[in-house]
Amino acid sequence: RTWAYYSGVNPERDIHSGLIGPLLVCREGTLSTKLLDISEFVLLFMTFDESQSWYYDRNSEVINRKSRKRVLDG
């Protein structure tokens, strides 16, 4: 079975920060054999709003600092 894992601390901000992913539950021994002819992928199609991320303010500061440095060094 497969579910989506996400944090319950602040679900909206956590998901927009990338704290989301697959949670696979398999029978014991199912994953012990590596089959060379089978590849599995887990895909998530979702629109992320980076302005809701925990990291948005810090990333903006870093980008702005680098941009100012380029202008001054330019």
φ and ψ of 3, to 5 deg: -130, 165
Domain of residue 26 covers 2-32+40-73
61/65 Cα distance (integer angstroms):
6
Cβ atoms of 18 and 48 within 8 Å: the answer is yes
Structural domains in the chain (count)? 1
Kindly state the helix (H) or strand (E) to which residue 21 belongs, with its residue range. strand 20-24
Cβ atoms of 20 and 6 within 8 Å: the answer is yes
Digits of tens for pLDDT over the chain (74 positions)? 888 898 899 999 999 999 999 998 888 888 777 778 888 888 989 999 999 999 999 989 998 888 776 666 65
